[in-house]
Chains A and B, each alone.
Chain A
Amino acid sequence: MLPLTSSTEVDEQFRRRTLLVIVAVSIVFLLLAARLLVLQVLQGERFTYLSENNRVRLKRIPGIRGTVFDRKGRLLAHSPPAFDLLLVPEDAEEPEVTLRRLALLLGWDERELLGVLSNNRSRPPFGEIILRKDIDWRSVVAVETHQIDLPGVTLRIRPKRSYPDKGMTAHLLGYLGEINPGQLRSLGNRGYRLGDEIGRFGLEKTLEEHLRGKSGGQQVEVNALGRQVRVLFQVKDVPGYSTFLTIDRDLQEIAYQALDGKEGVIIALEANSGAILALVSAPAFDPNLFARGITAQEWRAILGDETHPLQNRAIQGQYPPGSIFKMVLAIAALEEGVIEPDTRLFCNGSLAVGRRVFRDWKKEGHGEVDLHKGLVESCDVYFYQLGLQLGVDRIARYARILGLGEKTGIALQGEKEGLIPDTRWKMKEYGQRWFTGETPSVAIGQGYVSVTPLQMASLMAAVANGGTLYRPWFVRKLESVDGTVIREYGPQKIRSLPFKKDTLDRLRRALRDVVNSVKGTGSEARSDLVEIAGKTGTAQLAKMRGAVIKSEDLPYSIRDHAWFMAYAPNERPEIVVAVLVEHGGHGGSGAAPLAKKVIDSYFSPKGHRVALSDGREASKQGEALAN
């Protein structure tokens, strides 16, 4: 038989080597199996954990911050959805083309958009780029309708804190800021995360705990692109409590507009509870800037503003009270019996104490003055003498009983105490005894004395309501979103003033005449709508030596502060209004008209607002009511 081929037969060496190969192959496969044993059985648990880690993401859903309403249920602060425009370049076949189309569609700057893309080169794969935060509604609609032409572009919805009234409620409501690393450490166990917002100022800060809500979470399965495939498990988020304030939005607006262009404070309180109806500090700032994420430039502008818009002057501004402090002197003198109310003193326009001469604001003097006339015409010489008879320590004691020199305890942070001087304070602070020659200044609310507008407002409320000093408050009620009342707040009495009824009655009669008598300094606050009582104050910043210079002629920065403290109606007071206008000149002209506007608006028919620009319109409405 012929061989089919000349190829030689398989030799022994080949066979031997093939046997070796069989052994080698078996060993290799054994090693592979051993490797799999290690990976799958010995380390299986670890890799199972890692694969779960891969696919399961915990998505945190922060609770929506509570809404803030005024006393009539009108919106003051809320968290409506805002839209951020995102781009995932991997989802766009050509990101540049998409961005160019987007720029064309929305009328944005093309180079700026492309710049955002190149600024984000080092993001993780499939990481999203924020093209622009908080885009307007028109752009949202445009992007939604052109979704097909804009591959890779998506909209993200997130709640954004919004204060519709902007500066009007800025100092009351405050603002939010991104939590800083220090706070994050100290609040670590309260569930805050980096990037969360936290109340930084005002109500937002004080009520942070209640407004914040509870974050929920979702356990979601994601694919390798990080896209959510399905929700595995979820915990519902809980919105923060709705907060109802004692603030009346209308009154707040009137006060805000009254202070427009000025630096100052208007506070309106309920006389019989201390509840705040309006509280405005001017100038204000727009808290929405902080919610949007304030730019460095805007922040510098606010900080560098010489009018200090961030300061809440109502509780942080410490001013010499000027003549409104005479109310304290009057009470002290009557209570201490250092003077009979009808005793007359003579005012010739000045009083010499030692070598110093203290002038009256009225150069030619007030003539014969009793307590009533002293208050109504705000005679300085009369009160210099009262002060000298009382002595600084007795003045200080009464001032403190009336709540001066201590924080009112309002639920806002950063409140100042003001300063009520006495001999102990002088010794401690200056290592000096008190000189009698310093007392007359104190008696007319100058010198070392300083108060905050809110302290004076609550003092005025105590005078108006017959002797109860209330802590000013403005949070009435917290409700959960389903309407369950969580907490209700009411008036909080600091103390009942231990004064004779006659003392306050006399004071109040004088305050009525300040506004309503011919010679009263507060006549500009006189209203046809309601009988207003009050006290003017003019706090001097510059000492006048020699000639009396009219405040209006002084440079702005040393012009007098104008005060007016008022309540109405005179017989059964309901509302107290405190006005301070920095550098506003005389209290009677610089502050009293503003108080009148607020009070008139309060007593105007419900549902109607008084037009501030035209005082006569208010009168007409008043007449209409009377008819």
Chain B
Amino acid sequence: MGERPPSREKPLQIDRRLASHFDWSLFALAMGLALLGILTIHSATIDITKEPSGLFVLRQLYWLLIGLGAMVVCFTVDYHSIDRLTYLFYSGVLVLLLLVPFFGTVSGGSQRWLNLGYFALQPSELGKLVMVLVLAKKLQYDEFNEGYRLRSLWVSFLLAIPIFALIMLQPDLGTAGVFFLVFLSVILVGGLRIRSILRLAGVGIVLLPVGWQFLKPYQKIRFWAFLNPELDPLGAGYHLIQSKIAIGSGGLLGKGYLLGTQNRLNFLPAQHTDFVFSVIAEEWGFVGCVILLGLYLTLILLSLRVVMRARDRLGALLAFGMTAILFWQVTINVAMVTGNLPVAGIPLPFLSYGGSSLVVTMMAVGLLINVSMRRFTF
């Protein structure tokens, strides 16, 4: 490895040139989506009993502010400086994940949250971010432009395994899946040679049946319910059927804001978290869905433009990792609520109620802006 001359740039100062390259489109899209999320959460929680109405919206607004702050930090500090602190972040996240089995709150059969007094933190969300940092660090020196071999990535694998395992053990199959897909996306696009990719595919096919053995019974049931929801319409298939009814009954133009009956009468499960897309689909119809998907697609394509224009491999890898996180979450969530994937709790970025998800998503966008605004700096 070559020497690393010290950076001249002071970490927390943004000079005027940097500011002029600020990626307003990314920022505006992120804010727009987050505000749309607030509106939808209002509709999805207006009737939820036991909580004063508006409480969810207030909490989400409060998380949006925190997310905004985190975002600012994420684009202000030069990503090269962040890169230098990668292992510190990695260790921190690992410790948090290790604390979960001991101090985590149990909810719905799994232990995912750390209660930090005023709020609950979901360390697995941070796990995705930190993994991208690790991969970017490891894959940034492809000087001969010929790609990596699998064996040269053994450190990355070694670092990924504890995080992945800890998330699986919670168990949080959805987040673990996204984590795995992000990991795979980054090494496929950012590093591996074609031959190594093919070998990896072979191993994967062999390991699939083995992985099935490790699933919990309820996870297997969800899988079968996904293949045939009508098997058990009030049990495992209930979520899928109700979600499809909500989306389908939205029709072309939707039932109107606050008028979704599947939502308002609580037929939709988790309508303010994992199934928030169904609320939008029911109330805004196909037109609303296409606009929303268009916004996500724009965000992802703009992010990929950041990747293409990044000044160096580190920036490109970071930006690509963040894009992968956004892409996989949106895709899996929408495929899930439309009945194309088994139900596995994955929040929809920006829109789903939940602090950790929103803050991590804002941080991802912050890092994208970071790479984007520093593409011309030398």
Contacts and interface: CB of A to CB of B under 8 A. Distances in A.
Interface of A: 1-15, 17-19, 21-22, 25-26, 28-29, 32-33, 35-37, 39-41, 43-48, 50-52, 54-55, 124-125, 221-225, 229
A43 B248 CA distance: 7
B11 to A, nearest CB: 12
B307 A40 contact: no
Contacts of A9: 311-313
Interface in B239-269: 242, 244-252, 261-262, 265-267
Contact of B262 (A6, A41, A51, A222): A51
Contact of B331 (A32, A47, A51, A52): A32
Interface stretch (B68-76, B157-165, B283-291, B343-351): B283-291
Given A22-B301, A41-B252, A13 B147 contact: yes
B378 A4 contact: yes
A41 B246 CA distance: 13
Interface string B212-250: 000000000000000000000010000000101111111
Contact of A10 (B8, B251, B312, B378): B312
B107 interface: no
Given A3-B378, A5-B80, A21-B304, A28 B331 contact: yes
16 contacts: A4-B80, A7-B312, A8-B313, A9-B311, A10-B307, A25-B304, A28-B331, A33-B289, A35-B335, A35-B338, A36-B281, A36-B290, A39-B248, A39-B281, A51-B246, A124-B234
Nearest to B286: A40
B341 to A, nearest CB: 11
Given A17-B188, A224-B267, A39 B247 contact: yes
Contacts of A32: 293, 331, 334-335, 338
Nearest to B4: A6
Interface in B311-331: 311-316, 320, 327, 331
A186 B78 CA distance: 84
B304 A40 contact: no
Given A6-B1, A6-B2, A36 B247 contact: yes
A19 B245 CA distance: 37
B336 to A, nearest CB: 11
A223 B334 CA distance: 25
B313 A10 contact: yes
B308 interface: yes
A1 B378 contact: yes
Contacts of A225: 266
Contacts of A221: 261, 265
Contacts of A33: 289-290, 293
Given A22-B301, A32-B334, A50-B245, 14 more contacts: A1-B378, A4-B8, A5-B7, A5-B83, A7-B80, A9-B312, A17-B188, A21-B320, A26-B297, A32-B293, A33-B289, A41-B286, A44-B248, A44-B252
A39 B338 contact: yes
B190 interface: yes
A25 B335 contact: no
Nearest to A5: B80
Contacts of A46: 248
Nearest to B250: A40
Interface in B110-169: 140-143, 145, 147
B304 A55 contact: no
A266 B265 CA distance: 62
B3 interface: yes
Nearest to A225: B266
B77 interface: no
A12 B143 CA distance: 12
Interface string B179-210: 00000010011100000000000000000000
A51 B279 CA distance: 13
A5 B374 CA distance: 12
Given A44-B252, A50-B245, A5 B189 contact: no
A324 to B, nearest CB: 69
B13 interface: no
**Which secondary structure characterizes the binding site on chain B?**
helix
Contacts of A19: 308
Contacts of B251: 40-41, 44-45, 48
A11 B313 CA distance: 8
B248 A22 contact: no
A50 B282 CA distance: 13
Nearest to B7: A4
In the complex, the 6 A-B pairs of residues with the closest C-beta atoms, listed nearest first: A47-B248, A51-B249, A7-B314, A223-B265, A44-B251, A224-B266
A522 B141 CA distance: 129
A44 B249 contact: yes
User: A8, A10, A22, A45: which has the most chain B beta carbons within 10 Å?
Assistant: A10
A29 B296 contact: yes
Contacts of A2: 5
A15 B293 contact: no
Contacts of B234: 124-125
A22 B301 CA distance: 7
Contacts of A43: 248
A190 B228 CA distance: 39
A291 to B, nearest CB: 34
A48 B7 CA distance: 61
A126 to B, nearest CB: 10
Contact of B314 (A1, A5, A13): A5
Contacts of A222: 265
Interface in B294-308: 296-297, 300-301, 304, 307-308
B301 A50 contact: no
A22 B377 CA distance: 26
Contact of A6 (B3, B266, B267): B3
A247 to B, nearest CB: 52
B234 to A, nearest CB: 6
B53 interface: no
B340 interface: yes
A124 B234 CA distance: 8
Contact of A55 (B141, B267, B327): B267
Name the residue among B1, B252, B286, B308 with the largest chain A CB count within 10 angstroms: B286
Contacts of B304: 18, 21-22, 25
A7 B262 CA distance: 52
